[in-house]
Structure 1
Amino acid sequence: MTDEVVGLFPVPLQRSTGVLPQALVNALVDHFSTQALQTNNSSEALSHTRMLQPSDSPLLVQAAALITPRIAEFGRHLFGEQLGWAIKEMWVNVLDSGGRQAMHNHANSFASGVVYLTETHDSARTVFMKSPGGHDFALKNDHAGVVTGPYNAEKWVSPAPAPGDMVIFPSYLMHAVPPNAGGRRISLAFNAIPTRLESWGYTLSFNA
């Protein structure tokens, strides 16, 4: 007699270390941190650049060339095939001490990601969470004796990244950044789409 637990329909999240070399990380910080002038309604201590295309800067061209192959590998898990991918938009976030980013997801894209450009204080690691209003039980078993695992957890805190590290996730996945108790945290975010999707005789082509 045996028992087997099968993990049905998991959500992929890809962590990649050292995607951008330190020289490129430093150049991105120097060039874009002063351009993060747009405020965010989540916090007065959070600002970001306008939405950028990779072609807007030679630095972003370099970054996109290193990021895109990792997106293609991640996309193979999402769609079961090695597809072409294009980055739709990129932007730099500057989160100062005390700032936070509210829970959100990314519209009009299939894969999204964050490249960390500075050290991240433990308090401000990216948190991923179940979408509210899902199909879970209405009652919870939540107390000090509960052992949290992948089937009952409501959130997952990403491990501490180093500058140049990256996470990629489905754009629908909810995520947030708790209040930053450390120093300035700078990151490069992006949204990406596959160049095409096919479904039993129907083909959709996308342009970034």
Structure 2
Amino acid sequence: MDEIIPLFPTPFMRVPGALPPPLVVALAAHFSGMAVQDNNSSAKLSHTRMLKPADSPLLVDVAGLVTPKIGEFGALLFGERMGWSIKEMWVNVLDHGGHQAMHNHANSFCSGVIYLTPTHESARTVFMKSPGGHDFSFKNDHDGVATSAYNAEKWVSPDPSPGDMVLFPSYLMHAVPPNAGDRRISLAFNAIPARLESWGYTVRFSG
């Protein structure tokens, strides 16, 4: 019997209700006013400075709830349960008409987004294949093409509710299209494992 085998899939974890509603409300209220740093991709997108869990009791609570999930996700990435720590956290405020350009997260292995407010369907996070090199490329792209996981160039994440979290490898390219709805507030973070070991050679990381 013929068989299609999905070689080397990219893991993506969606955790509905990762944070309880009172914590979600408190995070949005406390940090939205601190999101005063401009983002060069859009005049209607701003964010806080880079934060660590120890900077706020609210972030300590977030870290306590999400770090076990990062451990589960990390086992998919590296084949082993190990200690993980959140390296940095920041809150994004995306007003009506704002967008986030395509990007990934450097100097980390696992990244995540926690949605703190309702998200308009236009501003769902979009994940994309990494762009290719500078060589010529050919595509089969027309109305008759059936898009699948094997030929798609982007994937639009499901509608999130406040408190939902997504985790993904930090190298995965992603963006937020223009927001046609109300203000969208999210908490993003990067995480690193305690160490990586390969046949006696060990690299240790500290958050």
Q: Is TM-score (shorter-chain normalized) higher than 0.5?
A: yes
User: What whole-Å deviation, never above 9, does each CA across 1:53-103 have from its counterpart, x for those lacking one?
Assistant: 000000000001001001000000000000100000000000000000000
Report the equivalent of 1:97: 96
* Residue segments in structure 1 that go unaligned for 5+ positions in a row: none
2:65 is the alignment partner of 1:69: no
**Paired position in structure 1 for 2:56:** 57
Which whole-Å CA distance do the structure 1 matches of 2:134 and 2:196 have between them?
28
Q: Pairwise mapping of residues 18-167 of structure 1 onto structure 2 (< 5 A)?
A: 18-133=17-132, 138-167=137-166
Structure 1 counterpart of 2:21, one-letter code? Q
Deviation for aligned residue 1:139: 1.1
Distance 1:85 1:134 in 2: 33
Aligned mates of 1:58, 1:193 — CA distance in 2: 21
1:6 aligns with 2:5: yes
Structure 2 CA distance for partners of 1:137 and 1:158, relative to 1, 3 Å: farther
How many angstroms apart in 2 are the aligned matches of 1:31 and 1:190?
A: 17
| CA RMSD between the two structures | 1.3
**1:66 partner letter:** L
Aligned equivalents of 1:192, 1:17: Cα separation in 2: 19
Give % identity.
Answer: 73
Report the CA distance shift for 1:136/1:7 in structure 2 as closer, same or farther (over 3 A).
farther
Aligned length: 207
- TM-score (norm: length of structure 1): 0.97
Q: How much has 1:3 moved relative to structure 2?
A: 1.2
Offset of residue 26 of structure 1: 0.4
Q: Which amino acid aligns with 2:29?
A: D
Q: Aligned residue for 2:192?
A: 193
TM-score (norm 2): 0.98
- What is aligned with 2:14? 15
Counterpart amino acid of residue 190 in structure 2: N
Structure 1 distance, partners of 2:203, 2:83, is 13
For residue 139 of structure 1, give the secondary structure of its aligned residue in structure 2: coil
Residue segments in structure 2 that go unaligned for 5+ positions in a row: none
Change beyond 3 A, Cα 1:109–1:174: same
Q: Supply the AA of the counterpart residue of 2:166.
A: V
Describe the shift of the 1:135–1:165 C-alpha distance in structure 2 as closer, same or farther (beyond 3 A): farther
